[in-house]
Amino acid sequence: MYLDQNALAGRTVLLTGASRGIGAVTARALASANANVIAQYRTQREGAERALETLPADRRLVLQADLTTPAAARDLWRSALTWGPDVDVLVLNAAVNPDTPIDGPDEVWDAGWQEALQVNVIGAGALMREAVRHFVARGSGTIIVLSSWAAEQGSRLPDLTAYAASKAAIRNLAQTFARNFARQGLLVHILAPGAVNTGMAIAGQDESARRAVADGLAMGRLVEADEVASLVAFLATGGWPSLTGATLDVNGASYIR
């Protein structure tokens, strides 16, 4: 997807989970389109800094935040607003996918559900709420939520039940905000990637395992992270208001609805 190098000039984007995977690739895509970028990370500051190294120092900000609590999410939003340029776009990418094995110990199941809900729903939801209130008050703003095809059809991996459910929950919250604040200038877009090369379900697997996953997909290949990142940058322009509330499937026809 082609974007003019100045497509996001003058726009400020707060991106969560910017240090690796889809987040790092998205940070680079936003920088390439000349956005001001605020990159949140949890533990890997170096990854977030590398992703933004092409941007001038006065147009990038790297912030640490542990989104396991709503308070941290709200502090992140306040820190982003005090940086300088007003935030125009929030990209909710940060997420965890802890194992929740059906046949595992109860403690592992409980801990996995707690972590998935805290980060993927409660923390992310608190951050989205802050953005909604700010954007509605000023009459414009865009939120882009990274969900998953697992949110649409259930996880194909039975040990990732909490991840799939949490992604469905954050998608539903985004849809609710989109429906209720469309007239106030709020744009909300949801992306539901399939199996992404460097995605959560693929990371750490060897080449033969990746090939086996790809062979089971309609296109015979994984979704590339830059396909998702380019779509995020495209939507961050705010130029497609009638797409608000929509979920865009990025899975190469492996799941069609």
| Separation of alpha carbons 215 and 179, rounded Å | 38
CATH number, domain containing residue 124 = 3.40.50.720
Domain presence at residue 52:
yes
Per the structure, the count of domains in the chain is 1
Q: Is the dihedral of CA 63, 122, 117, 175 positive or negative?
A: negative
Domain presence at residue 238:
yes
Domain presence at residue 45:
yes
Strands annotated E in the chain: 12-15, 36-41, 60-64, 89-92, 141-146, 186-193, 196-197, 223-224, 247-250
> Under a CB-based contact definition with an 8 Å cutoff, are residues 13 and 36 in contact?
yes
Give per-residue pLDDT as tens, 62-110.
Answer: 999 999 999 999 999 999 999 988 999 999 999 999 999 999 999 999 9
Domain presence at residue 3:
no
Range of the domain at 194: 12-249
| Separation of alpha carbons 169 and 138, rounded Å | 27
Tell me the HSE value of 29 on the side-chain side, using a 13 A CA sphere.
25
Domain presence at residue 1:
no
Tell me the HSE value of 124 on the side-chain side, using a 13 A CA sphere.
30
Domain presence at residue 36:
yes
Count the neighbouring beta carbons within 10 Å of the beta carbon of residue 253.
10
List the pLDDT tens digit at each of the 257 positions of the chain.
557 788 999 999 999 999 999 999 999 999 999 999 999 999 999 999 999 999 999 999 999 999 999 999 999 999 999 998 899 999 999 999 999 999 999 999 999 999 999 999 999 999 999 999 999 999 999 999 999 999 999 888 888 999 999 999 999 999 999 999 999 999 999 999 998 988 665 655 667 777 888 888 888 889 999 999 999 999 999 999 999 999 999 999 888 88
Domain presence at residue 255:
no
Domain presence at residue 6:
no
